[in-house]
């Protein structure tokens, strides 16, 4: 693609452009730190109801764009809509997080009845957001990567060490591979549907990749994500794909080479100087402010922002957090961050 023809700064960076100041968006930018989100959720009810209400989900997606003018809008949804579409029952326990039934540690995937129509409201949300976005704002779709999604599907809920999934992967790798393959197929179709409905780029979230040994990382993170990248690219060769394997550390080098993603998300534990030195020079990177530095604000936030800007100034860079924004983040600190990244203070 001719970068000069790209009007959206963030999309330009994903295609290799290096603007004077990096474009900016924040993971989980649509959510609980915003009073307008809290008001809408109180009106609409539970989190899953909000995800599947396309009018409400579109509104939530657009709220941070109206307030802060971010360069990217991220689809408001959840990574667990894919196991829901694969046939598990999904609900959210107040104060405790998601639940999936039956947990695949005790049940067989083949006994589930896939219900892909459960994803239809999410795709309708994409259409509604796309119609409302200005052309200079890049629209990002997403899905969970197979390993992270599998940890929930196997255990039926989140966990600290993902022991149920890791035990199954070691003890019955054939059965675990079947779960991964089902997630891969559903994810390729889901991401392609998002692209066909209007997103400009997609991100693969592997939030729990840091819990794996190097061998398991290659088997359950790099290989499945490489298959998804190839599958999406075969159908939509010009749509950039961002990979975000949180906690990968030095394994990012192998991840970048093995998955062939178009851009790489960096979590807050990575030294951006190391990333700039060790990763391919033309590979766009995204990140990697500590969400707690954003909560701290003031001079602490300014120093942290400047360190990242300085370290990654020589490559295509999208400014972002190293993980999702936290619910108690002050609005004024987000405004400070936006101004600092854009050189307005």
pLDDT in tens, 292-322: 999 999 999 999 999 999 999 999 999 999 9
Q: Over the stretch 162-194, which tens digit does the pLDDT of each residue have?
A: 999 999 999 999 999 999 999 999 999 999 999
33, 37, 152, 255: which one is catalytic? 152
Q: Which CATH architecture has domain 37-65+72-280?
A: Alpha-Beta Barrel (3.20)
Q: DSSP E strands: which ranges in 87-184?
A: 89-93, 97-101, 138-144
State yes or no: is 32 an active-site residue.
yes
In the block, tokens 């609900």 appear at: 91
Q: Over the stretch 96-144, which tens digit does the pLDDT of each residue have?
A: 899 999 999 999 999 999 999 999 999 999 999 999 999 999 999 999 9
28, 99, 166, 340: which one is catalytic? 28
Q: Over the stretch 189-221, which tens digit does the pLDDT of each residue have?
A: 999 999 999 999 999 999 999 989 999 999 999
Residue 3: which pLDDT band, with cuts at 50, 70 and 90?
Answer: low
Mean pLDDT of the chain: 96
33, 41, 52, 315: which one is catalytic? 41
Question: Longest Cα pair distance anywhere in the chain, in angstroms?
Answer: 58
State yes or no: is 170 an active-site residue.
no
Per-residue tokens: 40? 């809408």
In the block, tokens 């809290």 appear at: 38
- The DSSP-derived string for 244-272 is EETT-GGGHHHHHHHH--SEEE--TTS-H
State yes or no: is 2 an active-site residue.
no
The pLDDT assigned to 4 comes to 42
Contact 150, 221 (CB under 8 A): no
Calpha distance 78→56 (Å, rounded)? 14
Burial class (CB in 10 A: 0-12, 13-18, 19+), 30: buried
Q: What's the DSSP call for residue 104?
A: T
* Residue spans per domain, the chain: 37-65+72-280
State yes or no: is 235 an active-site residue.
no
Q: Is the pLDDT of residue 55 over 90?
A: yes
State yes or no: is 41 an active-site residue.
yes
Calpha distance 308→8 (Å, rounded)? 22
pTM of the model: 0.96
Beta-bridge partner residues of 255: none
Calpha distance 286→256 (Å, rounded)? 13
Which distant-in-sequence residues (6+ apart) come within 8 Å of 279 by Cβ?
252, 253, 256, 264, 285
18, 32, 233, 342: which one is catalytic? 32
53, 78, 206, 267: which one is catalytic? 78
Contact 206, 145 (CB under 8 A): yes
């Amino acid at each position: 693609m001719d970068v000069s023809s790209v009007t959206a700064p963030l999309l330009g960076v994903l295609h290799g452009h290096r603007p004077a100041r990096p474009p900016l968006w924040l993971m989980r930018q649509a959510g609980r730190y915003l009073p307008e989100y809290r008001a809408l959720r109180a009106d609409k009810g539970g989190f899953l109801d909000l995800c599947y209400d396309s009018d409400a989900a579109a509104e939530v997606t657009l709220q941070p764009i109206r307030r802060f003018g971010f360069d990217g809008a991220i689809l408001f949804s959840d990574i667990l809509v894919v196991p829901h579409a694969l046939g598990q029952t999904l609900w959210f326990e107040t104060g405790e997080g998601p639940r999936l039934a039956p947990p695949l540690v005790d049940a067989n995937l083949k006994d589930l009845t896939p219900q892909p129509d459960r994803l239809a409201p999410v795709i309708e949300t994409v259409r509604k957001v796309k119609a409302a976005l200005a052309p200079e704002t890049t629209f990002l779709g997403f899905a969970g990567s197979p390993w992270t999604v599998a940890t929930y599907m196997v255990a039926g809920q989140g966990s600290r060490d993902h022991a149920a999934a890791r035990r199954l992967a070691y003890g019955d790798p054939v059965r675990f591979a079947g779960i991964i393959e089902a997630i891969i197929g559903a994810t390729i179709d889901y991401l392609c549907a998002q692209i066909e409905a209007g997103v400009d780029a997609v991100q693969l979230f592997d939030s729990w990749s840091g819990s794996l040994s190097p061998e398991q990382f290659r088997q359950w993170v790099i290989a499945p994500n490489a298959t998804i990248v190839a599958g999406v690219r075969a159908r939509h060769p010009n749509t950039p794909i961002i990979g975000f394997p949180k906690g990968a550390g030095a394994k990012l080098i192998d991840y970048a080479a093995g998955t062939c993603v178009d851009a790489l998300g960096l979590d807050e534990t990575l030294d951006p100087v190391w990333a700039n030195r060790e990763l391919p020079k033309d590979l766009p990177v995204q990140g990697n402010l500590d969400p707690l530095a954003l909560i701290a604000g003031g001079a602490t936030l300014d120093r942290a922002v400047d360190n990242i800007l300085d370290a990654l100034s020589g490559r295509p860079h999208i400014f972002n957090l190293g993980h999702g924004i936290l619910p108690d983040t002050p609005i004024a600190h987000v405004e400070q961050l936006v101004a600092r990244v854009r050189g307005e203070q």
